[in-house]
Amino acid sequence: ASVPAAAVAATCQVELAAELMPAGVVGVDLSGNPSLGQWATWLPALQRARRAGLKVTLHAAEVFNYEETHAMLDFAPERLCHMAVLDGALRQRLWASNIPVELCITSNVKTNSVPGFVDHHFKQFYAAKHPVVLCTDDSGVFATTLSQEYAIAAASFGLDQQQLIELASRSVGYTFCSEGDQQVLLEKVLDFQARWRQEKPAVESLLQGEVQ
């Protein structure tokens, strides 16, 4: 049987990514229209990526697809994205896997995966202590920024500054960076935390003065 053109193109992209690993490429990401295509089409290219030492992220469960989502969990990527539409069995399997999930609040609302910000599954995943990473999905397409996503999470789910800093700190450990690069990123987060703690009393005093 002939190989679908899309599968050939995916393999070519993986081969290019593998060639560029010495230049800093660390992983590949499967994304696109969740209602089109078949998981089996992309699997050989993703297996090739894994053999080459590339990390893999899969955009999954933006729409409900029981068989495909189970197959993606079988593949066990280093990261997943969205996981917005799950039944109880899929959710329990995801949580048992401990695979970090990129959560894109604005994207999921604009694509109708969830009805609104306060309905987003971030609340459920965060309460379950599943590894999560706030992301934009595509800042240009969805007209958002990472800072805005953190602000939305804070406003929608009552997160305070310390919880946001801890969320950012944990996210560093889920990156595909080297340990050295992760340490640099973590130091930046911790430096921000130190500066925030120094400035917090002055900010609170100013706010109290405005209230009075």
Give the Cβ contact number of residue 202 at 10 Å. Answer: 9
Tell me the CA distances in angstroms from 37 to 58, 68, 124, 155, 174, one per residue in order.
14, 11, 29, 36, 28
Beta-carbon contacts of residue 161 (< 8 Å; ≥ 6 apart): 196, 200
The reply to whether 62 belongs to the active site is yes
State CA 60 to chain mean position distance. 11
In 3-state terms the chain splits into helix, strand, coil percentages (rounded to 5) of: 60, 10, 30
Q: Please, are residues 170 and 161 in contact by the beta-carbon 8 Å criterion?
A: no
Question: Of 62, 68, 102, 149, which is the active-site residue?
Answer: 62
Closest CA to 54 of 79, 87, 33, 31: 79
Q: Which residues form the catalytic set?
A: 62
